[in-house]
Copies of this chain bind each other. A is one copy, B any other.
Amino acid sequence: MDWQAVLATRGGRMKASEIRELLKLLDRPEVLSFAGGIPDPALFPADAFRTAMAEALSGPAAGVALQYSVSEGYRPLRDWLAGRMADLGVPCDADNILITSGSQQALDYLGKLLLDPGDTMLLGWPTYLGALGAFNAYEPCFDRFDPSDNRAPLDAAAAAAGRVKALYLTPDFANPTGETLTLAQREAALDRAEALNAALIEDGAYQVLRYDGTPVPAILALEIARKGSIEACRTLYCGSFSKTLAPGLRVGWICAAKPVIRWLVLMKQASDLHSPTLNQIATEHVARTIFDTHTARIRTVYRARRDAMLAALDRHMPEGVRWSRPEGGMFVWLTLPRGTDGAALLARSLETERVAFVPGRAFFADGSNGNTLRLSFSCADAAMIEEGMMRLGRVLRAS
């Protein structure tokens, strides 16, 4: 069978992530890994989910929990989310919410909704690797959006001849940098999207994980403040329970103007009918019962780990290494002296010190900036962080 003859052209853009291939090597127990970007499973509210699932699967309720359900998602969960969005300054109702299978699916659907081959997507340099993967399936061009420089991207966008369809941003504690956009940067991003008549995709995956500093309004809230109603807004907000409750149930959402949600409901119907019924029922139960107490608890744990990592970096990094000081999230981003290659460093680091991280190059749509790396503190205790940063410092001094 000659598969190449029948594959769609997008097939040529699919390739295994270099990172994921590397990460397969890191499973060895003697490696201190700061590579993963996953929540600590010890913090999952397993008892609450067990209770919620048992209830949903008892008596006549089971016939509902195990049956097909509507593509837009479980109504009580959409109601709960509408309430949460209102708390973020986004007054809306259940018809502004689509339940997705994690916010990864939200990104896939928004790419599918907006992108024809050759269209331009503006995004950060670096940006979330999974966003590059999701959008890539729809064969766009990627161009750089730098929130601290207002001119360059407009020029680049102009060159794309009116085919800039969207701007993608993670305003809070972004993966991979951990950085947060200021109010002025958010307003500038909105101005840019307005000027281009482009959609603005706001990825709120880490929004709840703020450890200190002053919260900055969501971009969608800022746009509503300008326009009076979510129905007039171009911002498409993507949220997720993966970093707050648990990722394994795959529950996320999109909050947007109703016509957009209606198109996305049709897309969901055609692509997987609906997200699992039981998962939505259980998530609503757990969110309604323990969301605030649970997220307060995990913030306390992650805050201490972030503090431990920043302190250890202060102690152990050699001259010439800079890093972000995130107010939340799971990541610290290191910039190494120019000419250092993160991937080569990882190979040496694994060999000589058995410490792992993610080389930064993969987060850049153009594969630039090899002198960067991402560290995650979410799954490491203070002792592991201290030992790991000491080892990393030795690797860097030896390079």
Query: Which residues of A are in contact with B by a Cβ distance under 8 Å?
Result: 1-3, 5-11, 14-17, 20, 38-39, 41-42, 44, 46, 49-50, 53-54, 57-58, 62-69, 100-102, 104-105, 108, 112-116, 119, 130, 133-134, 136-138, 165-166, 197-199, 232-234, 242, 246-250, 257, 259-260, 263, 266-267, 269-279
Given A6-B165, A62-B44, A112-B137, are A101 and B53 neighbors across the interface (CB < 8 Å)? no
Given the known interface contacts A108-B270, A249-B278, A250-B273, the answer about A11 and B66 at a Cβ–Cβ threshold of 8 Å is no
Q: Is the CB of B66 within 8 A of A247?
A: yes
Shortest beta-carbon distance, A252 to chain B, in Å? Answer: 9
A269 to chain B, nearest CB (A): 7
Bound: A185/B114 CA distance, A: 41
When chains A and B are docked, how far (Å) is the Cα of A44 from the Cα of B100? 25
> Can you list 20 A-B pairs, Cβ within 8 angstroms, ordered by A?
A3-B260, A6-B114, A8-B113, A8-B116, A14-B263, A15-B266, A38-B67, A44-B66, A49-B57, A54-B54, A69-B248, A101-B272, A108-B271, A112-B137, A133-B269, A134-B270, A137-B267, A248-B276, A249-B278, A250-B272
Known: A248-B278, A250-B272, A278-B249. A46 touches B63 (CB 8 A): yes
Oligomer: number of copies = 2
Contact present for A271 and B104 (CB under 8 Å): yes
With A101-B101, A134-B270, A263-B11 in contact, do A248 and B1 touch (Cβ < 8 Å)?
no
A15 to B67, CA, bound (A): 24
Are B248 and A277 interface neighbours, CB within 8 A? yes
Contacts of A270 in B (CB 8 A): 14, 104, 108, 130, 133-134, 136-137
Task: Among A1, A41, A138, A199, find the residue whose CB has the most chain B CB atoms closer than 10 A.
Answer: A1
Besides A66-B248, A250-B272, 9 other A-B contacts (C-beta < 8 A):
A41-B62, A44-B62, A64-B248, A66-B249, A105-B271, A130-B273, A248-B276, A249-B278, A250-B276
Of B10, B11, B267, the contact of A14 (CB 8 Å cutoff): B267
A103 to nearest B CB, angstroms?
Answer: 10
**Inside 8 A of A266's CB, which chain B residues have their CB?**
14-16
- Determine if A63 and B42 form an interchain contact, defined as CB atoms under 8 angstroms apart: yes
- How far apart sit A197 and B6, CA to CA, in the bound complex (Å)? 8
**B272 & A105 in contact (Cβ 8 Å cutoff):** yes
Cα A44 to Cα B65 with chains together (Å): 10
Task: Please determine whether B8 and A138 come into contact, CB atoms closer than 8 angstroms.
Answer: yes
Residue among B41, B50, B271 making CB contact with A137, cutoff 8 Å: B271
